[in-house]
Amino acid sequence: MNLNYLESRSFYIIKEADKRFNKIGVLWSMGKDSTAVLYLIRKLFEGEIPYDVINIDNGIDFPESYRFRDLIKDMWNIKLVIAKSKIKKEISGFACCGSNKTEALKEILKKNRYDALIVSIRRDEHGIRAKESYFSKRDASMRWNYKEPRLELFGNFIVDNLKEGHYRVHPLLDWSELDVWRYIKREKIPVNPLYFSKDGYRYRSLGCTHCTVPVRSDADSIDKIIYELKHTKTEERGGRDQDKEKEYIMQRLRAMGYM
Amino acid sequence: MIRAIVLGDKDNGKSTLIGNMLILTKSISRDRLKEAYRYSSKIAKRQEHAFILDSFEEEREEGFTLRSTEYKIHCNNEDITLIDVPGHKELIENMISGFNNVDLALLVISAESDKIPEQAFNHLKIARIFGLKDIIFCINKLDLFDKPERRFEYIKNLIQDQLNDSSYNGLKAYFIPISALKGYNLVKRYYDFGEGTVIDKIIELKRSRKKDSIARFVVNSIEKNRLEGFLFSGKLSKKSKLYDPYNNEDYAVYTDKSYSSFSYVKLRTDSIIKGNTKLLIDRRATISKKEEEKAEIFLIKRAARDLTLSLYYDRLEASIKGDIKIMDISNLKISKSEAIPVELSESRESLSRFIILDKDNKIVGIGRFVR
């Protein structure tokens, strides 16, 4: 896809959110997509990120990710809000993401009273995410009522006045994995070093250390990643714990408020 | 880039068509396909292409599309976005929500029935309100017939008879015989009758498409003489002239470079602009600021006469005068509570269209202002 078109579209979505909501938070996983979104916001607002940047920290992310977080925080002067989540030993996979990340998010939403969260999901990641809308309502329990029609014709986003709950804003929805990498290359956006091949393996999608495994790859530069993606037949999230991508688990996770 | 919406009644094969187009153009990963087939073999006892799109549990269990979605395919050096919508009458709001910046429509009609479903014509009327002119009729399930050409001609004639109605004035219909399930005539030619393949027709229409050149800039924010917003159509060069229909003023506008349609633009005007402005537009556009405007609307349910119209660039409280038909096009008058300027134009790029909302912010219909 044309990168100028995608960038413009994302700017528009962010600006429409800026106009409509009182307190916006940006979820930042330290992965390439949410880092690209931070970059887009910064470019749009001419060097400033006017929103809280929320990182849900379960304490078991990769050391490289934490170093990357500190680097970006200082370089882009980010108002970083860390939402601590506790990992419980007895649960893993679906239950782990469902309870930990989502719970931590619920708490920070309540504490800081965000009425909108910018989340960097893309349609091409998963069939359920493909059904999302640019602005997507969540109730007080963070549930997504996907049976409700999306109201964003003409790029005219119709937003309800919420007494409780919040809106998810999805500026990257129309982008593909390849588009994101092409944009990172064009704009020279810094990315987490774990994406690049080391000893024949690289991470294509980044979760926490417990449920992310690297994929076999020799792509040690952005150009090589772009080449690899043009020829791959596998899924980006293939390196995630199988559990999460199986059955209707994504649907259930999202219904619970997962990103 | 071109965006095509796939219309038609339930079970006529919309999601199957898109699913198979994704497979045939290699636009979907092997993993995604495997996942879809694993479930369809379990639930539907066959490889169901629609399961690539229909991802919710209830969609798969019940075999219908609940929520609209879109997928991109890349073929013959063209990016094509296909938009899938629910076909059920009860889900028509969801179906309308698929009309996001759409260039043309495919209307999938199963050749199995001797009657064209009413819902197909409802979709057609809605497409017309949205300014779509090119409709590709995909006559589906022809693999079930021993004499597919005869069946194709029969269904085509049934459709053409109905298209003579004045509700469809200005529509251009193309007819393609297909089997969405088998992939006949989607990407590769299988039948030697009809108008080629679906993909070729989409690309042909894209290449012959004419856009109007009117610049339409929807304002997002204003600070004195600095504006930000979205250029919905036309072009802006470094220096252009635009008209503020809210305050009846003309401005010279400056940008850092030239922009084409669908760009987010920051611009500067030669003097301070009033904060109530929501739209800057080329002087050549037909703008009306009358208290009462003529409109064509399509209501999907009964509603009060006092309604909210959500335009591209503004919101307008209005009341409707005249005979209202439900699930059909009504020609009537709309009286506006404020002097908000509206565009009167047939063009697909125009800002003449609106969504009609009730008090609870729910879609009750769509419409457009007409001359």
Query: Pairing relation of β-strands A80-84 and A52-57?
Result: parallel
Q: Is the dihedral of CA B230, B234, B237, B242 positive or negative?
A: negative
Q: Residue A30: CB partners within 8 Å, gap ≥ 6? A: A55, A61, A65, A68, A69, A72, A192, A206
Do A25 and A127 belong together in one domain? yes
Do A35 and A131 belong together in one domain? yes
pLDDT band at A240 (very low <50, low <70, confident <90, very high): low
pLDDT band at B39 (very low <50, low <70, confident <90, very high): confident
CA dist., res. B45 & res. B62, Å (int): 13
Which is higher by pLDDT, A257 or A79?
Answer: A79
Element (H, E) at A228: helix A222-231
pLDDT reported for residue B49: 87
Per-chain mean pLDDT for chain A? 86
- DSSP-assigned states of every residue in B44-91: TSS--GGGGT--SHHHHHHTS--S-EEEEEEETTEEEEEEE----GGG
Q: What is the 3-state secondary structure (H, E, C) of B28-57?
A: CCHHHHHHHHHHHHHHCCCCCHHHHCCCCH
Cross-strand partners of A183: none
pLDDT(B363) > 70: yes
B chain contacts of residue A251, beta-carbon cutoff 8 Å: 55-57
The average pLDDT across A105-133 equals 91
- Domain tally, chain A: 2
User: Is A146 in Cβ contact with B67 (below 8 Å)?
Assistant: yes
Do A88 and A212 belong together in one domain? no
Tell me if A16 sits within 8 A of A23, measured CB to CB.
no
> Number of C-alpha atoms within 13 angstroms, CB side, residue B112?
10
pLDDT reported for residue A176: 92
CA dist., res. B237 & res. B55, Å (int): 44
Do A232 and A137 belong together in one domain? no
pLDDT reported for residue B103: 92
Most confident of A201-215, B21-35, B314-328: B314-328
Cross-strand partners of B230: B218, B264
* Whether B37 contacts chain A with CB within 8 A: no
Following CA atoms A17, A20, A24, A27 in sequence, which dihedral angle do they give, to the nearest 10 degrees? -30
Q: Which two tokens stand for residue B48?
A: 């169901």
What is the domain extent for residue A57? 3-175+245-256
The average pLDDT across B231-254 equals 96
pLDDT reported for residue A93: 62
pLDDT reported for residue A243: 47
Element (H, E) at B121: helix B118-129
Do A58 and A110 belong together in one domain? yes
Do A69 and A144 belong together in one domain? yes
Query: Pairing relation of β-strands A116-118 and A166-169?
Result: parallel
B294: left (phi over 0), alpha (psi -120 to 50) or beta: beta
Do A26 and A136 belong together in one domain? yes
CA dist., res. B59 & res. A100, Å (int): 29
Do A200 and A143 belong together in one domain? no
User: Is A24 in a helix, a strand, or coil?
Assistant: strand
pLDDT reported for residue A135: 93
- How much of chain B exceeds pLDDT 90, in percent? 72
User: Is B230 in Cβ contact with A155 (below 8 Å)?
Assistant: yes
Q: Which CATH superfamily is domain B287-369 in?
A: Translation factors (2.40.30.10)
pLDDT reported for residue A126: 81
Any idea which of A212-216, B280-284, B326-330 has the lowest mean pLDDT? A212-216
Element (H, E) at B264: strand B263-269
User: Is B93 in Cβ contact with A149 (below 8 Å)?
Assistant: yes
Any idea which of A55-59, B38-42, B121-125, B210-214 has the lowest mean pLDDT? B38-42
A chain contacts of residue B53, beta-carbon cutoff 8 Å: 127, 130
CA dist., res. B65 & res. B71, Å (int): 14
pLDDT(A245) > 60: no
The average pLDDT across A17-37 equals 95
User: Is A15 in Cβ contact with B264 (below 8 Å)?
Assistant: yes
pLDDT(B116) > 50: yes
pLDDT(B14) > 80: yes
What contacts 24+ positions apart, CB below 8 Å, involve A180-184? A180/A32, A180/A33, A180/A36, A180/A122, A181/A32, A181/A222, A181/A225, A181/A226, A181/A229, A182/A3, A182/A226, A183/A3, A183/A6, A183/A7, A183/A36, A184/A32, A184/A36, A184/A222
pLDDT reported for residue B36: 83
pLDDT(B231) > 80: yes
Which is higher by pLDDT, B37 or B192?
Answer: B192
Q: Give the gap in angstroms from C-alpha A7 to the nearest C-alpha of chain B.
A: 8
pLDDT reported for residue A95: 61
Do A191 and A169 belong together in one domain? no
Do A92 and A19 belong together in one domain? yes
CA dist., res. B185 & res. B255, Å (int): 46
User: Is A156 in Cβ contact with B55 (below 8 Å)?
Assistant: no
* Whether B66 contacts chain A with CB within 8 A: yes
Quickly tell me which residue has 């929807």 as its tokens: B218
Per-chain mean pLDDT for chain B? 92
pLDDT(A242) > 50: no
CATH number, position A48: 3.40.50.620
Q: Which amino acid is at B285?
A: A
Q: Which of residues 243-262 of B touch A (CB under 8 A)?
A: 262
**Exposed, middle or buried by CB within 10 Å (0-12, 13-18, 19+), for B330?**
middle
Number of other residues whose CB lies within 10 A of the CB of residue B335: 14
Which is higher by pLDDT, A114 or A143?
Answer: A114
The average pLDDT across B64-68 equals 82
pLDDT(A82) > 90: yes
User: Is B312 in Cβ contact with A154 (below 8 Å)?
Assistant: yes
Q: What is the CATH number of domain B2-207?
A: 3.40.50.300
Element (H, E) at A83: strand A80-84
The closest of B173, B176, B116, B106 to B148, measured between CA atoms, is B176
CA dist., res. B181 & res. B162, Å (int): 27
CA A44 to chain centre: 18
Tell me if A236 sits within 8 A of A202, measured CB to CB.
no
The average pLDDT across B272-287 equals 96
Q: Which amino acid is at B182?
A: K
pLDDT reported for residue B41: 82
Do A157 and A225 belong together in one domain? no
User: Is A155 in a helix, a strand, or coil?
Assistant: helix
pLDDT reported for residue A208: 67
Do A90 and A183 belong together in one domain? no
How many residues does the structure list for chain A?
A: 259
Q: Give the gap in angstroms from C-alpha B95 to the nearest C-alpha of chain A.
A: 8
Quickly tell me which residue has 């029609």 as its tokens: A149
Q: Which of A15, A127, A154 faces B55 most closely, judged by CB atoms?
A: A127
pLDDT reported for residue A232: 79
Q: pLDDT per residue over B150-177, tens digit each?
A: 999 999 999 999 998 887 888 999 999 9
The average pLDDT across A153-181 equals 87
The average pLDDT across B81-110 equals 89
CA dist., res. B371 & res. B353, Å (int): 13
User: Is B265 in a helix, a strand, or coil?
Assistant: strand
Element (H, E) at B206: helix B198-207
CA B140 to chain centre: 21
Cross-strand partners of A215: A202
Number of other residues whose CB lies within 10 A of the CB of residue B252: 12
pLDDT reported for residue B123: 94
Element (H, E) at A103: helix A102-112
Q: pLDDT per residue over A123-140, tens digit each?
A: 988 888 888 899 999 988
